[in-house]
Amino acid sequence: MRDKTMSLEDFASAIEPGATVGIGGWGSRRKPMALVRALLRTDVTDLTVVSLGGPDVGLLCAAGKVRRLVYGFVSLDSIALDPHFRAARESGAVETAEYDEGMFVAGLRAAAQRLSFLPTRAGLGSDVLTMNPDLRTVSSPYDDEEYVAMPALRMDVALIHLNRADAAGNGQYLGPDPYFDDLYAMAADRCYLSCERIVPTGDLVRDAPVQSLLVSRMHVTGVVETPRGAHFTSCVPDYDRDEAFQREYAGAAKDPAAWRRFEESFLRGDEADYRAAVAGFHDAGGTGGAGIPGCAGRIGETDGPRGTRGIGERRG
Amino acid sequence: MEFTRAEVCVTAASDTWRDAGEVLAHAVGTVPAAGARLARLTHSPDLVLSDGEAFLMSELPPLGQTAAAGGVIEAWLPYRRVFDVLQTGRRQSMMGASQLDRYGNQNISAIGDWRRPSRQLIGVRGAPGNTVNHRTDYWVPNHSTRVFVESVDVVSGVGNDRARTGGPAARRFHRLGVVVTDLAVLDYGPDGRLRIRSVHPGVTVRQVQECTGFPLDGTGAGETRAPTAEELRLIREVVDPGSLRSREVPG
């Protein structure tokens, strides 16, 4: 088996301007944040980002790297909306394609199957069809029903983060939810997999069931070992979301001066610098919020993900 | 027996799952989540509940917490299977609404022009798929003319008029139940329009009409039922001992 391990810098230099980039995980859960931070350190721009979005989308929007955003939602889970996403929408800074979450998943499945579309009931009668005038319907050849023909969300590159992988790109999740990372891997021409730890192939199923092997090396181009590489999103069971740091991020995002300070503190160096700065934030007793009170999103207002879904549910 | 407005809302929410059978109860917000649990403990023992994470629970963790805080897991429900389940129709939702119109069109996506919203909300999320796949009810903790509007800015959840003109596939499984608010329970008449089914104890029909941004038929409106002594005991001791409900509906 070929050794596909690479550095964050190797990964970042492999992403072309104008690429369509799918980002795995969900909201503020197991996002490939170290890969996103590596992209922030390049001059790559004009990206189309396809994501069930969280701070991955927020950071790329804030850095001016996104031309078009294709999403089912953009949420920080415990905070209802990513402030950078909200600002991008309210200022008209990015083109958007907003889909029902089930439609989005149908688009991933279509792309993974190399189909041009898949039929779905979701979207019929709603303004999703108004907001995406390119959407077409398809008539059933068997009865009088007509469905939304959800187009394939095909990508140039997929970025995913898993708990473990081997050097050849066999990837493993150890938490309760695979999200859709296997579909992203199959829906893209190239997939870059970051993981908490690269282990020998034989170790993958030593303490975990074979069902945890989510992604096969067939669909993986490069493997990057990035401990804490999903920070500040959750990567259960390795670590939970860093709520204090996420509050710091969201608070800073609401104010240009505070955001510049956040960038200076956390996003100016390499990944090692980032980890050191985060450790410093916690050593200084950081509780988050960038000094802005009441920065936590209102919970339970709408059909939110886990923050709102814990009392209620995570999604529509 | 004394009871609060929040407790009336919880029992009204619970009643939406009466006769739902063995389906997944999807509840967004504190009052709907408490209502689903109360339904499960009283009239609908077969109701299926999730911890809000990736598990279905035969015994639940405390309200607002996940399986990590306790309970008994009975099945695995990662996100990918949620979409599978909802397309089977074995699910019934009670969702929030930032805007609702007289036909039950719901908006949680954005306020203003969707191309450049004056206020970005959470997005359509699962509302389009929910409403054309299974029964959907709404919970509005702040009944006001800001929520109940002449026309919504983005149709996220599909209303009765849109379902009727949306073709056979849109109509086939579309079913709006009721709207529970902090003032009343609204349902839909034969014309597909909202009307007042009942006002909560201490609320008048006129009050509800004044807080609604379109004409609302109050003919035949009754009074929302009071919680029974057993329901009050369950709400206070089992379902929501921390009284999270009173944060959503004060007073």
Map residue A73 onto helix, strand or coil: strand
- What is the model's pLDDT at position A289? 61
Q: Which A residues 221-280 touch B at CB under 8 Å?
A: none
Q: Could you read off the pLDDT of A26-51 as tens digits, one per residue?
A: 999 999 999 999 999 999 999 999 99
pLDDT in tens for each of the 251 residues of chain B? 799 999 999 999 999 999 999 999 999 999 999 999 999 999 999 999 999 889 999 999 999 888 989 999 999 999 999 999 999 999 999 999 999 999 999 999 999 999 999 999 999 999 999 999 999 999 999 999 999 999 999 999 999 999 999 999 999 999 999 999 999 999 999 999 999 999 999 999 999 999 999 999 999 999 999 999 999 999 999 999 999 999 999 97
Closest partner residue to A75 (CB to CB) among B30, B122, B165 is B122
Domain ranges for chain A, please list them.
8-99+154-225, 243-307
Q: What part of A 71-90 touches B (C-beta under 8 Å)?
A: 71-75, 80-81, 85-86, 89-90
Beta bridge partners of B81: none
Q: Does A133 touch chain B (CB under 8 A)?
A: no
Count of domains forming chain B: 1
**Cβ under 8 Å to B: A residues 12-31:** 26
Neighbouring residues of A271: CB distance < 8 A, sequence distance ≥ 6? A8, A34, A37, A38, A226
Domain membership flag for residue B245 = no
* Half-sphere exposure of residue A46: CA atoms within 13 angstroms, side-chain side: 6
Q: Which residues of A touch B103 (CB under 8 A)?
A: none
- State which residue of chain A sits closest to B121, comparing Cα positions: A81
Does A68 contact chain B (CB < 8 Å)?
no
Among chain A residues, CA nearest to B79 = A179
Cα distances (angstroms) measured from residue A117 to each of A107, A166, B129 = 7, 33, 17
Q: How confident is the model at residue A316, as a pLDDT? A: 42
Q: Which candidate in A28, A127, A179, A308 is best for mutational testing of the B interface (most B CBs within 10 A)?
A: A127
Place of tokens 């992988």: A165
Homologous superfamily of domain range A8-99+154-225: Glutaconate Coenzyme A-transferase (3.40.1080.10)
Q: The pTM is what?
A: 0.94
- Beta strands, E only, A152-284: 155-165, 171-172, 188-198, 213-215, 222-225
Task: Select the residue of B29, B132, B155 nearest A121 (Cβ to Cβ).
Answer: B132
Inter-chain touch B28–A302, beta carbons under 8 Å? yes
| CB–CB contact A102 B129 (8 Å) | yes
Reported as a single tens digit per residue, the pLDDT across A65-108 is 999 999 999 999 999 999 999 999 999 999 999 999 999 999 99
> Does residue B122 belong to the interface with chain A, where contact is any CB pair within 8 Å?
yes
Residue A133, C-beta contacts closer than 8 angstroms, at least 6 positions apart: none
The domain that holds B171 is classified in CATH as: 3.40.1080.10
DSSP string, B189-233: -TTS-EEEEEE-TT--HHHHHHTSSS--B-TT-EEPPPPPHHHHH
Given this model, what pLDDT does residue A290 score? 53
Structural domain span for residue B33: 5-238
Q: From the list A140, A177, A301, which residue is nearest B96 (CB)?
A: A301
Task: With a cut of 70, list the residues of chain A below it in pLDDT.
Answer: 289-316
Q: Which residue of A has its CA nearest to B37?
A: A312
Beta bridge partners of B99: B107
> Given B54, B64, B126, which is nearest A310 (Cβ)?
B64
